[in-house]
Structure 1
Amino acid sequence: MDIRNYTAFVAVAETMNVTRAAETLNITQPALSRQIKALEASLGVALTAKSGRNIRLTPEGEALYSRINEVLVAERNLRIFADDIGRGETGLIRIGACSQLIERYLPSFLKGWRQDNPGIEIRLEDGGGPELAGKLKDGLLHMTVSAEPSQPIDIFEAVPLGTLGFLAVGSPDYLGTSHAPVELSDLLTMPILTLNRKHASREVFDAACRVSGTVAEIVLESYSPHTLFAMADGGNGVAVVPSSARPPSERLTSRPIALKGAAVKFGICAMWNTRQPLPAYGRRFIDALGAHIRADQAISAESLPGARYGRLQVI
């Protein structure tokens, strides 16, 4: 479709005179006539007919003129859309993230991001780290937001977004009422409720247990931290969750987990497949999300008991 032909037709329909229409468009009369004939040929109908020195619209021309604005608006919107794509202002990002990170960081962040970037569509998928990495490799996701993998993955590029620790969450019968850090060796004398191995953070917790030289008595492995909290609230053990998770009950005590006096920490990152490079708006999303997460963690560090403990990165 040559939009110039439709523009020429509008000019003719509005002036009912080829000469005046050509002057309006700043083109020659023969050029305008060719454009009208080309449009009639493409549609297979006559749109105009002579009426003395002027012209008139045929019934088909009248019908087209009544709908022509829709065509021109659609073409204009397509041009704006194409320009936005070229400037990185329009597009889609499919993001995979674990439920704790979605719940903690994305609700407040996404609203502001969408307001600032109305042309960028965000689609989220909840899942565990290894599962999401597989989808990223297969091209089903544009990026993931999860715990850093224990070993770099050749085809992935990663950008750090922040660090998280672990919380022991349980009833006062297990953890008392103090919110001071609890040593991992002491924690592992209690029944443990933990996330399953679909979560990348579980790998970090298992590594910390090996370093401590103590075997955990795991009574429940779950996909959901909320299931762990419910079991902990019922007095069935102590939930071990990343510090991004928020216990729903005030009856539960939350304590940071330390190993030999240092808080057990792990990094979170955004990753994407280097074989499918991110567009500019994808990198903007990562930069903005990282700033949001670090600001949130800075606020939490000021209020979290034991936050100034030395850090032990367990790989």
Structure 2
Amino acid sequence: MDIRQLRYFVAVAQEANFTRAAELMHISQPGISAQIRQLENDLGATLLDRSGRTVVPTAVGEVALAHAHSVLSSMEALRRAVDEMNGLVRGRLVVGMVTACTVQPLFDALSSFHLAHPGVEISLVEDGSATLAEYVRAGSVDLALIGAARQAPEDLDGWPVISEPIVAAVPVGHPLAETDGITLAELMAHPLICLPEGTGVRATLDQAAAARGLTPAVALQASAPAAVVNLAERGLGVAVLSATMAAPHTGLRTVAITDADVPAVLALIAAQVKSPALRELLRHCRQSFGGSPTPAGAVPASSAGA
């Protein structure tokens, strides 16, 4: 029995699936299965029930899982204590990014951190904002750049990078193209194109509409802001985007949504407990983003509020 096997066991129990756990731990599915079977052989007990559609701990597995969490926490505490005493930063960090992320300050921070601390392995994960927040809560992602409505999740440490309104974007010649602003109720009269649920822009639209008793009927959705823009440019509906997403596209006219008072926020989030490596990466992030909670112009149009 070794620490690696305990990590694999915890990952499978957390994901309830060998394949997802293998992807999370960067190992093949047969490899993680073999390691956990070896752990079960060493302990002389079956830890996971594999008979159903999802993998769940057995009664013995539940007891073992609690001890595995305790052992891994103790190992991490030992590593942090030694690192802090020696003034070293090493280990592994998993950084999450919203899908189709092109936020240059984040890339700059990762680059400067890597140059300063080449001994720290950095892994990148792309997903929707809501999923990334769950990964941070579970501890499988250390730091994530997410989109949110109004503010970052309150149960996580969050640092807003930018806060801006959502807008409507239509091609030239559209009935809304010559208006200075529209209400949410007026917006709902048109087919909408938006990012999917789990993104900051979509959450912003849904919350602003719900506050006025409205339910958006999204006709088309795409996971990348550029795809939303392309669909709107072809006249397939009214795009709902953050202001910087829509601003640089000459084929679209941006129209203010006058009563959408829930801002789209792009934020860095991290768990409450931070390793020395994570604290150092956060320092690089603050420097890269200009040291301000909402640095003007720090986020390119293609990603703000995703």
The 5 Å alignment of 1:61-72 reads: none
Q: Does 1:138 align with 2:138?
A: yes
1:96 deviation in Å? 0.8
> What percentage of residue pairs aligned between the two structures are identical?
18
CA deviation digits over 1:107-162, x for unaligned, max 9?
Answer: 763476358635365433221111112222332211111134778454x3223333
Gaps of 5+ in 1: 1-81, 301-315
TM-score by length of 2: 0.57
1:219 deviation in Å? 0.8
Question: Alpha carbons of 1:284 and 1:267: their partners in 2 closer, same or farther (altered >3 Å)?
Answer: same
1:206 deviation in Å? 0.6
1:89 deviation in Å? 5.2
1:84 deviation in Å? 11
Question: Alpha carbons of 1:146 and 1:87: their partners in 2 closer, same or farther (altered >3 Å)?
Answer: same
1:291 maps to which residue?
290
TM-score by length of 1: 0.55
2:242 maps to which residue?
242
Name the one with the larger helix percent. Answer: 1
* Max Rg structure: 1
Larger deviation: 194-203 or 121-130?
121-130
Task: Letter of the 1:212 partner, please give it.
Answer: R
2:271 maps to which residue?
273
Whether contact under 8 Å (1:148, 1:200) holds in the other structure is yes
Q: Report how many aligned residue pairs link the two structures.
A: 214
Question: Alpha carbons of 1:229 and 1:152: their partners in 2 closer, same or farther (altered >3 Å)?
Answer: closer
The 5 Å alignment of 1:114-153 reads: 117=116, 119=118, 122-148=122-148, 152=153
Distance 2:270 2:200 in 1: 16
Q: Does 1:253 align with 2:253?
A: yes
The 5 Å alignment of 1:64-103 reads: 86-87=86-87, 90=90, 92-99=92-99, 102-103=101-102
Question: Alpha carbons of 1:273 and 1:138: their partners in 2 closer, same or farther (altered >3 Å)?
Answer: same
Task: Letter of the 2:231 partner, please give it.
Answer: M
Question: Alpha carbons of 1:294 and 1:170: their partners in 2 closer, same or farther (altered >3 Å)?
Answer: same
Question: Alpha carbons of 1:159 and 1:86: their partners in 2 closer, same or farther (altered >3 Å)?
Answer: farther
Q: Give the SS at the match of 2:245.
A: coil
Question: Alpha carbons of 1:171 and 1:94: their partners in 2 closer, same or farther (altered >3 Å)?
Answer: same
Report 1 or 2 for greater relative contact order, CA contacts < 8 Å, sequence distance ≥ 6: 2
RMSD after superposition: 3.6
Whether contact under 8 Å (1:148, 1:266) holds in the other structure is yes
1:209 maps to which residue?
209
Name the one with the larger strand percent. Answer: 1
1:39 maps to which residue?
none
Whether contact under 8 Å (1:191, 1:237) holds in the other structure is yes
2:197 maps to which residue?
197
1:57 maps to which residue?
none
Distance 2:197 2:206 in 1: 10
Distance 1:88 1:289 in 2: 22
Whether contact under 8 Å (2:159, 2:267) holds in the other structure is yes
Gaps of 5+ in 2: 1-81, 301-306
2:220 maps to which residue?
220
